[in-house]
Structure 1
Amino acid sequence: MTACLIVDDELDIRTLIALSLRREGVTCHLAADLASARAQLAESGHTLSFCLTDMRLPDGDGLDLLDEIRQRFPDLPVAVITAHGQVDAAVRALKAGAFDFVSKPIEQLVLKRLLRDALKARTLDSAPDQSSQHALGSSASGQDAAPREGPFDAGPNAADMGQGAAKSPLIGPSRAMQMLRETIAKVARSQAPVFICGESGTGKELVARQIHELSGRADGPFIPVNCGAIPAELIESELFGHKKGAFTGAHQAHEGLFRAAEGGSLFLDEVADLPLGLQVKLLRAIQERKVRPVGEYAEVPIDVRIISASHQDLNAAVRDGRFRHDLFYRLNVIELRVPPLRARLEDLPALCAHILGKLAEREHRPPPHLTPEALSWLAQQSFEGNVRGLENLLERAIALTEGDLLGVSALTDFPGDNSFDSSAEQNGLHLGSPPDVKSTWGATPPSSALEAEEQRQVLSALEMTRWNRSEAARRLGLSLRQLRYRLAKWGVE
């Protein structure tokens, strides 16, 4: 039996919510204030499936009730009711542990979605061990579908994403990874927006996928989009959609990525790269849970959980006026920090074994093993490229080695490559340039350290494939169109 506790001091609202939920087969217990709610909890708290409470009550705050429920009934999902436009109140509630919120006036469809999400959250809470084991990454099994994360993970076409050669799950025995996996398991049960921060190559998209797969939205789509890879003039229609004829070239209607993620999760990677004008529209879409396609007058309701990420310091971006404070406040309800590889070097053996296994499987050969000396050498590296840099290094080593053992020489020597300068190597990335392209490479100087790192990795892949752009794009996890876009942007002939 599904039962709900409805706490609101307005009789009309209590009655309306109860009538709507009873149509869905829910038994409703009603309370007008904190005292009545506490009495209901004492009498039937263990039989409740979820609770819906107003923020402002005659004898206290709804957050007080939320805190009491979390202590006495930790598995009971609680959603809060806020007045229209009270974003601050909603964010406070989510940070305090509410799994979701609804704004007045409350619509029937919104209540149905809330009921569905609450029951899924309750189901997840009732089996924490199973859900944690599913994605905590204690082994490499069951993680093969997760794509690489970083500057090469997404572009204008979502179908092109995640085609990297080696895919690393959240594995490793380090305390940092254990804490991250535990936090992911907790965060997944909420509907609150999550902001993931960490250096490039640490696995932010993988973390986002784990959150989605552990959540009640796991049956829905997970739509990743790299906000920095879509041209500014196209990003609004890519996110919100457009109607046919809305602008030149709009030969047919496009639903947009928000609507494509309906019932699931939308991952906004490198969200700091969004233009300021679009940030306003994104804020409204998140607050109102509606989007307006380009060229349309009516807004379309959406049911999407927002997960965002950036390697940049968003607080600094807010201070510099490059990112809206209200949007940051709305996205950063829950913050997850992904540790860099140099902070969890004890994970290197497990990571290397997994990456080498996947590379060997792709090449149809037995997986090679690193010698103790090679592992020791790796542990001394700074790994500015993090896990992605490690993947690139091992991919190059396995491509140039035929034996079953990879020593230090396999990680540092480059047969037949006279242009390699070992003094210019960092994290196994080839930073040199062939003599015939030095004059054209970098015609447009990199605008940031990240772009410089991206240029180095692209050049390394091009050299390894003798400037075969299709093969280089495959190794980088890009589509050919995305690689061409970057080369044109950097002024490479």
Structure 2
Amino acid sequence: MTVDLAEYNWQAHSVLVVDDEEGMRNFLERTLARRCGMVQSAADAEHAAALMARLHFDLLILDIALPGKSGIEWLHELREHGYMGDVILVTAFADMETAIDALRGGASDFILKPFRVDQILNSIKRCFERARLARENFVLRRELAGLAADPIGLVGHSPAMEQLRAMVRRIGQMPSTVLLLGESGTGKEVVARALHQTSPRAQRPFVPLNCAAIAAELIESELFGHVKGAFTGATESRNGLFYYAHGGTLFLDEISELPLALQTRLLRVLEERKLRPVGSEREVPVDVRIIAASNRNLAAEVKAGRFREDLYYRLAVVDLSLPPLRSRSEDIPDLMRHFMQQLAVQLGVAPLPLSHEVVSRLQAYAWPGNVRELRNYVERSMILGCFSNTPPGAPAAEVVPLPGELALSLAEVERRHIERVVGDCAGNKTEAARRLGVSRKTLERKFAEWAAAEADDVGRVDRRA
């Protein structure tokens, strides 16, 4: 029987053969060396453990009858210490009890000696395919879980969007890291997905992570994974997002929220292309393109000592600034039609007619929540069956400024709008953040900045007095 290897990228995998028979080790090494990226061998568990301390292996082919520690005993230890790769057990002597013990220990397959070449190759192929499907299923579950916030593509034909499209087409083909900058709600994840889709990695996973949405003490494990017992509550080993993004793209949104210690670890991964799961002593090679995003001025964060300068320059090999919606208001009709087509399927209602009067009114609004706020407005309008005079939470004066407001700065308009929305929500900042299309943390930061500025003003007045 001939095994078709054409559809499997075996070169991306590494295999460790552990067998005390030299002839079997040589046979398997010769068979796999021309197919797999790396093949190593060992005669016993002790030598194999030394190899695994230095190298990462996706698959172990492990003989049960080893000198000293048996293959099954060592397999139990491997699983206890967090090895999550596939293990094929081979033996010349087996009974039902041995087979059950092997499966309980976490063996992926069980093969009797002597075996044919096609038997072992088919078993290896199944292991590699299972690992590939596990990665793809994980990514798919994450995408389905975030379906409501799924990207809509680069919609709009304003000069700013045409220029952005051209940059995406050019940069997408490059392997370099990319830093996306822009206000909340401008569509940074949309652009990140577009960069992924136009890259050679388009058929591999795109894994997004909002660094602001996860507790600081959990981000390290989320990114790099952990072994069993690495910390309180780590009852089993777990792969990190770098593992699931292997061969594809990892999108780190709100990267300015990463703690400084974790910024150091991320920099090392970017430079060495290796990572170490939490609690593990083994380094694992990774092949991931990083796209990062922030709504803060990272250069200013560096000067303030809140972001590592070396990491900033490592991320900003190419940087793209996304325009706010108020600077491309001519795209509002296209965006609204797109949202209505998308939401019509989800809500089970027909799109609403879009009049010139409605468009003109909305184009006069500042949209501090940007495209995300516009989408929320469209969804609310479709649920109610008509376009309201103003976006959610915004009084009519916010759409067409009153004469006394024409001289206000953009920052003052933003503050007034946010305070009005919070007032409309009876002080509920979580609900206000949802209406504005920003995170609760961003809203809290705004109020803290305003309070600090007012305290400075009071201090200056006191000093003058």
Report TM bin, short chain. Answer: 0.5 to 0.7
What stretches of structure 2 of length at least 5 have no aligned partner? Answer: 1-33, 36-54, 58-140, 400-412, 448-465
**Shift in CA distance, 251/225, structure 1 to aligned 2, threshold 3 Å:** same
Q: Distance in 1 between matches of 2:176 and 2:320?
A: 13
- Conserved in 2, the CA contact under 8 Å of 1:200 and 1:386? yes
- Equivalent in 371, 383, 399 of residue 399 of structure 1: 383
Structure 1 letter corresponding to 2:433: Q
The equivalent of 2:314 in structure 1 is: 330
**Shift in CA distance, 395/380, structure 1 to aligned 2, threshold 3 Å:** same
Displacement, 1:166? Answer: 7.7
1:431 aligns with 2:429: no
- Equivalent in 290, 298, 320 of residue 304 of structure 2: 320
The equivalent of 2:342 in structure 1 is: 358
Displacement, 1:165? Answer: 6.4
Count of residues paired in the alignment: 292
The equivalent of 2:206 in structure 1 is: 222
CA distances 1:442-487 after superposition (whole Å, capped 9, x unpaired): 5xxxxxxxxxxx75233x49xxxxxxxxxxxxxx89xxxx99xx99
CA distances 1:149-181 after superposition (whole Å, capped 9, x unpaired): xxxxxxxx9467533268532111111111111
Q: Distance in 1 between matches of 2:334 and 2:152?
A: 10
The equivalent of 1:411 in structure 2 is: 389
Structure 1 letter corresponding to 2:171: V
Displacement, 1:395? Answer: 1.4
CA distances 1:8-63 after superposition (whole Å, capped 9, x unpaired): xxxxxxxxxxxxxxx89xxxxxxxxxxxxxxxxxxxxxxxxxxxxxxxxxxxxxxx
1:383 aligns with 2:367: yes
The equivalent of 2:354 in structure 1 is: 370
The equivalent of 2:455 in structure 1 is: none
Q: Distance in 2 between matches of 1:217 and 1:367?
A: 35
Displacement, 1:432? Answer: 4.9
Q: Distance in 2 between matches of 1:211 and 1:166?
A: 15
1:285 aligns with 2:275: no
The equivalent of 2:329 in structure 1 is: 345
Identity %: 44
- Conserved in 2, the CA contact under 8 Å of 1:166 and 1:391? no
Using the size of structure 2 for normalisation, the TM-score is: 0.57
SS at match of 1:178: helix
**Shift in CA distance, 354/213, structure 1 to aligned 2, threshold 3 Å:** same
**Shift in CA distance, 166/268, structure 1 to aligned 2, threshold 3 Å:** closer
**Greater C-alpha radius of gyration:** 2
CA distances 1:315-355 after superposition (whole Å, capped 9, x unpaired): 00000000000000100101111111111111111111111
- Conserved in 1, the CA contact under 8 Å of 2:362 and 2:390? no
The equivalent of 2:175 in structure 1 is: 191
Structure 2 letter corresponding to 1:296: S
- Conserved in 1, the CA contact under 8 Å of 2:179 and 2:292? yes
The equivalent of 1:83 in structure 2 is: none
- Conserved in 2, the CA contact under 8 Å of 1:431 and 1:456? yes
1:162 aligns with 2:146: yes
CA distances 1:199-218 after superposition (whole Å, capped 9, x unpaired): 11010001000111111111
SS at match of 2:320: strand
Alignment RMSD: 3.3
The equivalent of 2:462 in structure 1 is: none
- Conserved in 2, the CA contact under 8 Å of 1:227 and 1:273? yes
Using the size of structure 1 for normalisation, the TM-score is: 0.54
Q: Distance in 1 between matches of 2:256 and 2:182?
A: 13
Q: Distance in 2 between matches of 1:421 and 1:179?
A: 34
More helix by share: 2
**Shift in CA distance, 167/216, structure 1 to aligned 2, threshold 3 Å:** closer
CA distances 1:392-430 after superposition (whole Å, capped 9, x unpaired): 11112222126xxx4xxx23399xxxx986557889998
The equivalent of 2:51 in structure 1 is: none
